[in-house]
Structure 1
Amino acid sequence: MARARKLLFGPLGIGVLVVTVAAAGFGLYWFQPWKLWQDRTVQETAPVAQVPPGPDGEERPAGPVDGGAEPSGPPSSPSGPRAVAGGELISHEHATSGTVRLVRLEDGSHVLRLENLDTSNGPDLRVWLTDAPVKEGRAGWHVFDDGAYVSLGKLKGNKGSQNYPVPADADLSRYSSVSIWCARFGVSFGAAELGRL
């Protein structure tokens, strides 16, 4: 009994206890298992057409002007955000569903929109544009980081509809898919092929 107490409370026992607590703390930080039971829902509105300001700098109404009278001259062509590519998310390492739209804004910039996203929460999830093909039933480990990709930032929520600005210097002709990428473990939770619309 005295020997067991000496082992438990001696330098060796305390050293083992410290290593065990440190390993448990690191494991909890690294894997963040509580996120499997926590959902984060983000609902952002879709990009909408901007009404250009009038000559005096004030915003013009979107409809008829001057007390309801129709403006003279030919009607202007409709302008505004336009989806140029899109696809359906498929599951890789976690059940994932929703749609992806690449939207071109009036100023020529692009936004990637995730609609009705539903996936698992996890540590360090990112939204990536990639050049990798998306295949049904394919494992998501180390697939999308083998080629060209650009990160659009951290996933805002594992559920809902969200917008991600695409960097102006991104060459969109190089990217053919979108991945919900776990940077911590190098795995795709789900992905979508970007088909041209």
Structure 2
Amino acid sequence: MGRKRRTPLITGLTAMVVVALAAGLYWFQPWKLWQDETVTEALPGTVVDVSRDPAVEPGESPSPSAPRGPVTVSSGDLISHEHTTTGTVRLVRLADGSHVIRLERLDTSNGPDLRVWLTDAPVKEGRAGWHVFDDGAHVSLGKLKGNKGSQNYPLPDGVDPSRYTSVTIWCDRFDVSFGAAALTDAG
């Protein structure tokens, strides 16, 4: 009789352990620490068709000082927060007037639910900088395409890039920065 009572208890405990283990694996996704995703994208460039530029009269050549391709507006080097992170971030204005955040030579850990955020938060060294980026204004530019390489993240229409001063690789699941860069004016 005692054996029959223990069987449902053991079965119930085993089921609870299996469910907890499955939920933990889904939440933390530890295998991602050993999986690298390298993405290498070229900087988008827009060829300006001078013959269709309304500011240029027919037969007239465009101003030599007018930028014809991508222009770096601001940039900064990534510093490590929760995970070792290196690379460069550039805010680039394209010839059509749109902007992209470009991550170059990015090298960080992979993780669950990583995002690229443009923020107004100051970049702080060490643990003090891990959690500051969701305190103020930020714009999510989408999921991190890869934890290594060079990649582009277009700014959505209507976003004024001059309102933001930093970029973070943000783990949305655990509300922590993997790494961040303060943007300083190019020049």
Q: TM-score, normalised by structure 2?
A: 0.88
For 2:60 and 2:24, locate their aligned partners in 1 and report how far apart those are by CA, in whole Å: 68
What residue identity is the alignment partner of 1:109? S
Q: Give yes or no for the alignment of 1:83 onto 2:81.
A: no
The sequence identity of aligned pairs, in percent, is 69
**3-state DSSP of counterpart to 2:69:** coil
Query: Of the candidates 26, 37, 56, which is equivalent to residue 29 of structure 1?
Result: 26
User: In the TM superposition, what is the alpha-carbon distance from 1:132 to its structure 2 partner?
Assistant: 0.6
**3-state DSSP of counterpart to 2:72:** strand
Q: Give yes or no for the alignment of 1:161 onto 2:153.
A: no
Q: Give yes or no for the alignment of 1:181 onto 2:170.
A: yes
Structure 1's unaligned 5+ residue stretches are 56-71
Moved more, 88-97 or 78-87: 78-87
**1:43 paired residue number:** 40
**3-state DSSP of counterpart to 1:30:** helix
**1:193 paired residue number:** 182
What is the number of equivalent residue pairs in this alignment? 178
**1:128 paired residue number:** 117
Could you report, residue by residue, the CA deviation over 1:144-170 in whole angstroms, capped at 9, with x for unpaired residues? 001100000000000000000001211
* C-alpha distance 174-14 of structure 1, shift in aligned 2 (>3 A): same
Query: Of the candidates 14, 19, 22, which is equivalent to residue 17 of structure 1?
Result: 14
**3-state DSSP of counterpart to 1:86:** strand
For 2:4 and 2:32, locate their aligned partners in 1 and report how far apart those are by CA, in whole Å: 40
Q: TM-score, normalised by structure 1?
A: 0.84
What residue identity is the alignment partner of 1:126? R
Instruction: Say which one has the larger Rg.
Output: 1
